[in-house]
């Protein structure tokens, strides 16, 4: 359930749709509904979100490349494979920006359950 919420850009903990973002790129420190901080005391939280964005984008490039190859068989035209892959590689990180943050938050919550202080809103989310 946490991962599904993360993939749909919801707060992984409470499921709120407006969780950590005011629009597509403007992020806030806490979920507007449950108050859960997205960093959870980690200075390098963005590294995990960046990795999630990279993995999702790479998966998209692989799928687009495979589909383009299958559609152009038996004579594969390179440009019909390369151009869609480049478009996905360039637009993927932009489109997946907020999703990568909520997905990584879900993975982090799955690996490290929140403490009682975090649930009460008393933990320092920014360190």
pLDDT, tens only, 6-52: 888 888 888 888 778 888 888 888 888 887 777 777 777 888 889 99
Looking at residue 87, what is its pLDDT? 96
Per-residue confidence band for 120, with pLDDT thresholds at 50, 70 and 90: low
Note the pLDDT of residue 59.
Answer: 96
Q: How confident is the model at residue 121 (pLDDT cuts 50, 70, 90)?
A: low
For the chain, first and last CA: distance in Å?
Answer: 28
Tokens standing for 60? 């998209």
Cα 42 from chain centroid? Answer: 17
Q: What is the pLDDT of residues 41-66, one digit of tens each?
A: 777 788 888 999 999 999 999 999 99
* 1/64 Cα distance (integer angstroms): 27
Q: What is the pLDDT of residue 51?
A: 93
Domain ranges of the chain: 2-120
The strand pairing partners of 30, in sequence order, are 37
Report the interhelical angle of 45-71 vs 78-95 (nearest 10°): 150
Write down the pLDDT at residue 90: 97
CA distance 124 to 103: 21
**Which pLDDT belongs to residue 113?**
83
pLDDT for residue 126 is more than 50: no
pLDDT value of residue 60: 96
Question: If DSSP states are collapsed to H, E and C, what string results for the chain?
Answer: CHHHHHHCCCCCCCCCCCCCECCCCCECCECCCCCCECCCCCCCHHHHHHHHHHHHHHHHHHHHHHHHHHHCCCCCCHHHHHHHHHHHHHHHHHHCHHHHHHHHHHHHHHHCCCCHHHHHCCCCCCC
Report pLDDT digits (tens) over 64-93: 999 999 998 888 889 989 999 999 999 999
């Amino acid at each position: 359930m946490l991962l599904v919420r993360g993939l749909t850009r919801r707060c992984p903990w409470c499921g709120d749709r407006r969780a950590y973002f005011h629009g597509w790129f403007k992020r806030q420190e806490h979920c507007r509904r449950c108050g859960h901080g997205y960093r959870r005391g980690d200075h390098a939280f963005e590294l995990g979100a960046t990795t999630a964005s990279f993995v999702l984008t790479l998966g998209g490039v692989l799928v687009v490349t495979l589909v383009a190859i299958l559609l152009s068989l038996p004579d594969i035209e390179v440009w019909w494979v390369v151009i869609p892959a480049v478009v996905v590689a360039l637009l993927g990180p932009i489109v997946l920006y907020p999703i990568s943050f909520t997905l990584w938050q879900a993975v982090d919550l799955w690996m490290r359950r929140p403490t009682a202080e975090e649930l009460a809103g008393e933990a320092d989310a920014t360190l």
